[in-house]
Chains A and B, each alone.
Chain A
Amino acid sequence: MSTQVILGQLLVGLINGSFYAMMSLGLAIIFGLLGIANIAQGAFYMMGAFFSWMLLRWAGIGYFPALILVPLAVGLIGMAIERLLLRRIYRLDHMYGLLLTFGILTFIQGLFVWLFATAGRPYPVPAELRGGFDLGFMFLPAYRAWVVAASLTFCLATWLIIEKTPLGRTLRAATENPNLTRAFGVNVPALMTFGFGVGVALAGAAGLLAAPIYSVSPLMGGDLVIVVFAVVVIGGLGSILGSIVTSLALGLLEGLARVVYPQGANMVIFVIMIAVLLVRPAGLFGRER
């Protein structure tokens, strides 16, 4: 097995890991702030990819403007959904949150299947990011390097904002004790809307980054979100850096499996989840919620 092939697969693994990281980060923010397991995260990922395609196809707006516009659009739709639908069920059992977001996932997927059919549509790699670098031991495609760098930037920026800024401080406080935080004058309901927007914007951004790699189709988010759920169970919901590290590590392990035992690659993460559950039920970095 040549080094090129192994490193190639590890790179794919790293890319998948970065998508897992962005998606699970979004999930963690939403779960922490709203107490909702947002399975619709897969739908927002898909919308991110589709909006990018639509911008290009219908408005001639390319990749780089889309980097700003698409997460913004997805975030706004998310905030609308939070205000109109999710807000009404906070007082109910947590399971209704999962059921409602599952209903939303089903509806949005159904909508896009109806409008666009299930076949995948291609999205071209932007001209500036074509080609690659010859590193000697392997050829590194420019777009793939970009995806990893961009995802990590999104994740680290999110981490910085949450850990080091006043907004992040307020977010952490609202996550830990929403009522007391309100009693200090913070508009926590508005913060929750905003937090949901940010969480799904991360998914939308991941969708945009993924579009040139995996073709754009209405069902592209479904299988991904299940893997991301497993990643979240493994990593636990305690720490942001923990989520990022877990996601990247699992992506790499998946890539490694694809080299060593390709038939089992899809299952690796779920098997690891079982092992982690038997040993540390709260997840590797988890705090019981």
Chain B
Amino acid sequence: MAEDAALQIDDLHGFYGESHILHGLSLAVGKGEAVAIIGRNGAGKTTTMRAIMGLLERRSGSIKVKGKETIASPPEAIARLGVGFVPEERGIYASLDVADNLLLPPKLADGGASLDEIYRLFPNLRERRRSQGTRLSGGEQQMLAIARVLRTGADVFLLDEPTEGLAPVIVEQICTVIDGMKKKGHTVLLVEQNFHVASQLADRHYVMEHGRIVDVIARSELTAKLDRIRALLGI
């Protein structure tokens, strides 16, 4: 996979302080692929995302973004390689209004959505653009979190639980947006607890448990391995 890989992780160990969370994780995401990491609460999925983004204090092993080694890189350097991050907590700034939240992330490359395109995709955001960022509903905040990285021209997207706690209608909208990313040829790495969403969007699924990858399931194998997946996720 190596040359084509947008993201290549080998033997990643990650720590929060003294706690050893990630135990020799390895995964790869090809250019233009959509890959999901699924697993129970506490499996280490968010920690993995943070590690990729350079937000984990102690990590060792190898993380290559578009072929460049980033295990020791600071977050800003990783982002500038063209990575767009949508964190689990959404991270909407309370001290900025919606428009400023949208405009904050700097342009990383050409090809990002223009402000007009964003407002066309997410009309709510235009309406609320002078509201304080955190005054938005959960669904609107999630849209904002995704919208702002669409503007930057990033082509590798890390989405951590983008549909968590949202109403089915909004979940559908978000799936449409992510599908749009895929159609543009962007790379998507998705953490999802909602298996239905993950199975809709992802070409491959990594199953994580206790900080390790325990299985890799291609889309074609989904029906065959459904029972196994249910057992692993505890559904």
Q: Interface of A with B (CB < 8 Å)?
A: 166, 169-170, 172-173, 175-177, 179-189
A180 pairs with B76, CB closer than 8 A: no
How far is B108's CA from A176's CA once the two chains are assembled, in angstroms? Answer: 22
Residue of A nearest to B55 (CB): A179
How far is B105's CA from A181's CA once the two chains are assembled, in angstroms? Answer: 8
Residues of A close to B53: CB separation below 8 A: 183
How far is B100's CA from A179's CA once the two chains are assembled, in angstroms? Answer: 18
> Which of B74, B96, B100, B105 has a CB less than 8 Å from the CB of A184?
B105
B94 pairs with A183, CB closer than 8 A: no
Asked if B195 is at the interface (CB within 8 A of a chain A CB), the reply is no
In the complex, chain B residues 97-143 whose Cβ is within 8 Å of any chain A Cβ: 100, 103-106, 108
Q: Interface of B with A (CB < 8 Å)?
A: 53-55, 74-76, 78-80, 85, 87, 91, 93-96, 100, 103-106, 108, 148-149, 152
A169 pairs with B108, CB closer than 8 A: no
Q: How many A-B residue pairs have CB under 8 A?
A: 63
Closest CB in chain A relative to B117 CB, distance in Å: 19
Knowing A169-B100, A169-B103, the reply to whether A182 touches B75 (Cβ < 8 A) is yes
How far is B78's CA from A181's CA once the two chains are assembled, in angstroms? Answer: 12
B74 pairs with A182, CB closer than 8 A: yes
Majority-rule SS of A interface residues: helix
> Which of A169, A175, A179 has a CB less than 8 Å from the CB of B104?
A169
> Which of B74, B93, B108 has a CB less than 8 Å from the CB of A173?
B93
Pairs A–B under 8 Å by Cβ, sample size 15: A169-B100, A173-B95, A173-B104, A177-B91, A182-B54, A182-B75, A182-B79, A183-B55, A183-B75, A184-B105, A184-B149, A185-B76, A185-B106, A185-B108, A186-B105
Residues of B close to A183: CB separation below 8 A: 53-55, 75-76, 78-79, 85, 87
Residue of B nearest to A178 (CB): B75
How far is B78's CA from A185's CA once the two chains are assembled, in angstroms? Answer: 7
A175 pairs with B95, CB closer than 8 A: yes
